[in-house]
Amino acid sequence: MNDMNMEQLVSELQKMMPFKKEIDTGDIVLIAADDPRLLAYAVVTGIEADPSRKDPWWHVHMEMLAVPLQPMTWTLRMEQMCGQEIFTMGGKKRFMAPVAIGYEKHHETVPPGRDERSGKDGAKRTKKGGLRIIK
């Protein structure tokens, strides 16, 4: 990581990490910083509009996943908080993107109009996992 500039690092991260296109409260984000050089995870605890700005900027409240948890708030545009662009804070390059942790893989929905269990049309439900209760 030390030999890469931020653009190269982000390019490599985009190849190996399953980033989401949108962000929401409860998402885990990956944060990359140029100085100090680090990669870290945080959980988004809230997102609210910044009323002091004319353009759409957002206060992104997060807890850095460290011991102890470290609360922080960054004011960002949507493109910055969703991993669409590298930004600077105090002249230091930063990158942030929400990570798809795999929830979608384990909670697939049955296609609309078909209930997998009963064979009836029009019902929606989520698929159950492969575990059974044994008595």
Q: What is the pLDDT of residues 60-85, one digit of tens each?
A: 999 999 999 999 999 999 999 999 99
CA distance 49 to 37: 29
Written as one string, the DSSP assignment of 12-70 is: HHHHHS-B-SS--TT-EEEEEETTTTEEEEEEEEEEEE-TT-SS--EEEEEEESSSS-E
- pLDDT band for 4, please (50, 70, 90 cuts): confident
What does the radius of gyration of the chain's CA atoms come to, in whole angstroms?
Answer: 19
Write down the pTM of the prediction.
0.72
